[in-house]
Amino acid sequence: MKVLITGASGRVGSGIRPYLRREFDLRLFDLAPPAEAVTTREELVLGDLASSSDVRAAVRGVDAVLHLACVHGLGLTFEGSLDANYRAVLLLLQEALSAGVQRFVYASSHHVLGAYRQAGFDAAGQDAAPDAFYGLGKAFGEAACAMYARRFGLPMFVVRIGNADPSVSDGRTLRMWTSARDLAALFAIGLKLPGLGHEVVYGVSECPNPMFDNARAFALGYRPQDRAEENLAPGFRPYGAMPPELGEEWVGGAYAVAPLPRLVERG
């Protein structure tokens, strides 16, 4: 199977490549080359996901797409997110379908539920409640994926990533952290699952008091190998020691309490 990975030069893409290339041939797509050298089971294609011609070329001849590319950040504006988090998703879905791609794996985020308070939170059946423009873009991406899965039958696997930093920085992320190894294993399930329709799971490792019920991922064969408690950062801050700007009361943490950038005024 040949898999297109968008955003392959980013932190998540760089972290999962060593695991995925053991099973798949990878086409790496990004604006700039990755820091790690490309191996014999990898092919590098540079381009822009906002360009129809670049996207069309990127999906040609691949069996599956793993879409990681996005822009994010506490200060991300709506206008600044339009190309990468909206137009790119639709272009990629459109061209993947036209090219006969067999399945699509979408890297979403827990920030689609970030505006909920942690107290009493249960993710099961909750409506989307993004905490900022990054989460809003991911909610849009999930909706676009559902449209292509239901309307056109494109097999779809959505992974709502918790926290994919190299180590666990605070009590909130302790409940949703994921290692690159576990995340790659979850993506591999989406790439290989027989009879895939439309699935939504959470990208988390073994976490104490987990914020998200990941029963569906376990039912599909996911077995995390890494434990959040064994990967604490040197300056780890437990609940109660987190400053207000980290938003310890919210599912989305700092994104839920940071100022929401105003839209650009026109006229």
Cα(213)–Cα(228) distance, rounded to whole angstroms? 16
**pLDDT for residue 49 is more than 90:** yes
Instruction: Tell me what percent of the residues of the chain surpass a pLDDT of 90.
Output: 98
**pLDDT for residue 266 is more than 90:** no
The residues pairing with 120 across neighbouring beta strands, listed in sequence order, are none
Name, in order, each residue with C-beta under 8 angstroms of 64's C-beta and a sequence gap of 6 or more.
1, 2, 3, 4, 101, 102, 103, 104, 105, 191
User: Which tokens go with 245?
Assistant: 């700007």
Cβ atoms of 229 and 208 closer than 8 Å: yes
Name, in order, each residue with C-beta under 8 angstroms of 232's C-beta and a sequence gap of 6 or more.
167, 168, 174
* pTM for this model (two decimals): 0.97
Select from 185, 158, 140, 26 the least CA-distant residue to 103: 158
- Average pLDDT of the chain is 97
Query: What was the pLDDT predicted at 171?
Result: 98
The 10s digit of each residue's pLDDT in 84-102 is: 999 999 999 999 999 999 9
Query: What was the pLDDT predicted at 89?
Result: 98
Query: What was the pLDDT predicted at 267?
Result: 78
Query: What was the pLDDT predicted at 125?
Result: 87
The average pLDDT across 17-23 equals: 98
Select from 65, 91, 74, 82 the least CA-distant residue to 7: 65
Look-up of token digits 């918790």: 162
**pLDDT for residue 10 is more than 90:** yes
Q: So which residues are the catalytic ones?
A: 134
**pLDDT for residue 28 is more than 90:** yes
How big is the CA angle at 125 (ends 123 and 130), to the nearest 5 degrees?
Answer: 60
Cβ atoms of 27 and 18 closer than 8 Å: no
3-state secondary structure the chain: CEEEEECCCCHHHHHHHHHHCCCCEEEEEECCCCCCCCCCCEEEEECCCCCHHHHHHHHCCCCEEEECCCCCCCCCCHHHHHHHHHHHHHHHHHHHHHCCCCEEEEEEEHHHHCCCECCCCCCCCCCCCCCCHHHHHHHHHHHHHHHHHHHHCCCEEEEEECECCCCEEEHHHHCCECCHHHHHHHHHHHHHCCCCCEEEEEECCECCCCCCCCHHHHHCCCCCCCEHHHCEEEEEECCCCCCHHHCCCECCCHHHHCCCCCCCCCC
Pairing mode, strands 103-109 and 232-237? unpaired
Query: What was the pLDDT predicted at 215?
Result: 97
Q: Which amino acid is at 183?
A: L
The 10s digit of each residue's pLDDT in 106-159 is: 999 999 999 999 999 999 989 999 999 999 999 999 999 999 999 999 999 999
